[in-house]
Chain A
């Protein structure tokens, strides 16, 4: 009785019922995972605002209403206007596009390079020493300080923000992937695959990489969240996304000196940063539980 199929070998009807049952179980696990659900919903809403929002706007983020400078939220300007008389709602929504784009790109580049560095460091001992010492060096600096230095060297624009963020984040991801990959490599199937005559490239990319993918996805969501914060911080310090392009960070930066008179310039972009970062962290935590088979009860 070593064939589990004996239970399944009934008619096609039973098979489709089992499939349905599996789908039900999947949905139940998904719904039971509150943080994944809440985080995911908030992210979808913010994503939709960033993508679809601009088509509902009557004002562009650059249009200046000189007489309406620093006016409080009203029916005409729902989020109020900034110190130059630009529609804050429009700027925050376009800022969402910039911030999310930068965050997404940074986490994508970080995940890709981090995966590569982590995998090769775990596979080749001599590369391990070199790559991990470089990572140690990069991690010795506070993230913001390092990003600031890189931005100062490269100059302020969106592309350089992505580059700076990636350099800052790669070491963390690389280390997580390296340790996960080391665990995978200790398993017999890697030795078995080598015994089948597989080359190192196949072992690394076809057999180790898919087994560390869940770690990578989870790390990518955290990197996304931190990227948004660091990008906002850089813009706040004036080395991030240059004016007049809006980003959440530089809107807050411009609102800083008017905070006593125009709280809305700080509150609305701040609220967006906060909710996005919380949602990403919730989503990452939820994803970790969801992808880890040991948390199934």
Chain B
């Protein structure tokens, strides 16, 4: 394997382990992926599958004492895991920014919006307070917030959820990062605001040539804005590919299940949504073989016994399943949706 460092971010064999009082938890295991400039990559999976942990590992926001991060995280050709504390701090906020899930608690309640953006600017650049405030207002207006000068003087509790998320985006963009990690940025917002925020992200991706990792459990969002999708399950990647390939021919039963669980606007309204039975296995007690096997319709003897490897297909799609060829043979997912649910 030739090392290619031309990607903006390349994560190789990332293992994140927490040492908790209950024991060792392997929250993320053998995760590898890359993000290019000007590209939005979706990271999908249900709660607790390691999406957020993966991104927090990139930023190294976990308590170092109880967390072990192994592997390599190349960002612009330097391994973030080899950096010193101070060097990593210079990366955070300047080169890589993060937007958090809950806009309600992601702002410090005791400072005004303007002050908080100014702080984000002044953390990495030595400029005058007045100039920083001017830039803060400019950033706010970039996020299409109405009357940015007024908003800058307000406290977080005076703003709505959508406005706060715009403020958080402004803070994240304060130093024009090359990579933006958006951890479920639209989950706490209603649908109309959701699409506005997504439009903003798409727009900034283009104008600033940023790479964006979009963590979400909403496949609709992914289909709309991402170019590639990574599907995670129980701490590992189960499928990866372009949006088109994942949505038209998902090769992992889990991805398939997620798609079938999604309501379709076109097509037969009477066909029922299909649920994935069961819950994500506890990370303390993972199945020996394939982690999805207990919930999988396709599982056979081998699934319970041997852990499948991530297999790359000619098309570039990657899948971690013993039976992907069986799924490959099946027709396009859209055609088979109603058949599948009729069967189930």
Contact = CB atoms under 8 A, between A and B. Distances in A.
Interface of A: 2-5, 9, 125, 187-189, 191-199, 206-207, 210-211
A199 B90 CA distance: 10
A208 B61 CA distance: 17
Contact of B150 (A5, A189, A193, A197): A5
Interface of B: 59, 61, 63, 65, 89-94, 97-98, 100-102, 105-111, 119-120, 123-124, 145-147, 150-151, 158-160, 162-163, 168, 171, 174, 193
B100 A197 contact: no
B92 A196 contact: yes
A188 B100 contact: yes
Given A195-B92, A197-B124, A198-B123, A189 B98 contact: no
Contacts of B91: 197
Given A188-B101, A189-B106, A195-B98, A3 B163 contact: yes
A124 to B, nearest CB: 9
A250 B110 CA distance: 44
B93 A197 contact: yes
Contact of A195 (B93, B110, B124): B93
A196 B93 contact: yes
B344 to A, nearest CB: 39
B262 to A, nearest CB: 27
Contact of B163 (A2, A125, A188, A194): A2
Contacts, number: 77
B147 A9 contact: yes
Given A3-B147, A197-B93, A199-B89, A211 B160 contact: no
A3 B193 CA distance: 12
Contacts of B63: 125
A197 B98 contact: no
A9 B151 CA distance: 12
Given A196-B97, A197-B90, A211 B150 contact: no
B100 A192 contact: yes
A202 to B, nearest CB: 8
A197 B123 contact: yes
Nearest to A191: B61
Most buried by A among B102, B106, B159, B162: B106
A199 B59 CA distance: 14
Contacts of B150: 5
Given A3-B160, A189-B109, 16 more contacts: A2-B162, A2-B193, A3-B146, A4-B159, A5-B146, A189-B107, A192-B98, A192-B100, A192-B171, A193-B108, A194-B61, A194-B92, A195-B97, A195-B100, A196-B93, A211-B108
A9 B65 CA distance: 51
Nearest to A196: B93
Contacts of A2: 160, 162-163, 193
The 6 closest A-B pairs by CB, nearest first: A197-B93, A196-B93, A197-B92, A195-B98, A210-B110, A188-B106
Contacts of B124: 197
Contacts of B101: 188
A207 B107 CA distance: 10
A194 B59 CA distance: 9
B169 to A, nearest CB: 12
Given A188-B101, A188-B102, A189-B107, A195 B146 contact: no
A205 to B, nearest CB: 12
Most buried by B among A187, A193, A199, A210: A193
A212 B163 CA distance: 26
A21 to B, nearest CB: 15
Contacts of A193: 108
Contacts of B98: 192, 195
17 contacts: A2-B162, A3-B160, A9-B147, A125-B63, A188-B105, A192-B107, A193-B108, A196-B93, A196-B119, A196-B171, A197-B89, A197-B123, A198-B89, A206-B119, A210-B108, A211-B108, A211-B109
Nearest to B159: A4
A204 B223 CA distance: 41
A121 to B, nearest CB: 15
A125 B63 CA distance: 10
Contacts of A125: 63, 65
A264 to B, nearest CB: 50
Contacts of B159: 4
Most buried by A among B94, B100, B101: B100
A192 B147 contact: no
B132 to A, nearest CB: 14
A211 B110 contact: yes
B170 to A, nearest CB: 12
Contacts of B110: 210-211
